[in-house]
Amino acid sequence: MLQNEIEECKKIIREKSGVDTKKCMVCGKCSATCPNYDSMEYHPHQFIQMVENGEIEKLLESKSIYACLSCFACLERCPRQVEPVKVIEAVRQLVEMQRGPHHLDPVQVPDFVDDDLPQQAIVSAFRKYKR
């Protein structure tokens, strides 16, 4: 990835998340409280630092963006209110934007719904794949 592409991705992530990654002091409290810590290649505090350091390409290829539960536990523990969950979501959105528009059409939803599927999964699918 070229430097100007990295800077553009950083700008998009910062705009979508609304997070100032410079506020992170890398204490790791967000990662320590993450209920899905063991399933993630990169942990919440690492996401923040990787965006700050321009290691965007690794994040775009990481499965960790889909391992995040969006539970906001990381936000609750952060002494500086950095909100790693919002950065992870912004990276996830950037990946989906690069894949192309509209991976899930509202008309297709009934085909995927069953009695065991939680409502949050449907809302999450729209959030991730409709943009």
Q: Taking a C-beta distance cutoff of 8 angstroms, is the pair 34, 44 a contact?
A: yes
Q: Taking a C-beta distance cutoff of 8 angstroms, is the pair 121, 48 a contact?
A: no
Q: How far apart are CA 89 and CA 91, in angstroms?
A: 5
Q: Quote the pTM value.
A: 0.75
pLDDT, tens digit only, all 131 positions of the chain: 889 999 999 999 999 999 999 999 999 999 999 999 998 999 999 999 999 999 999 999 998 888 898 899 998 989 999 999 999 999 988 988 887 766 666 677 677 677 776 777 777 766 665 54
Q: Which fold has domain 3-100?
A: Fumarate Reductase Iron-sulfur Protein; Chain B, domain 2 (1.10.1060)
The domain locations on the chain are 3-100, 103-131
Q: Taking a C-beta distance cutoff of 8 angstroms, is the pair 59, 51 a contact?
A: yes
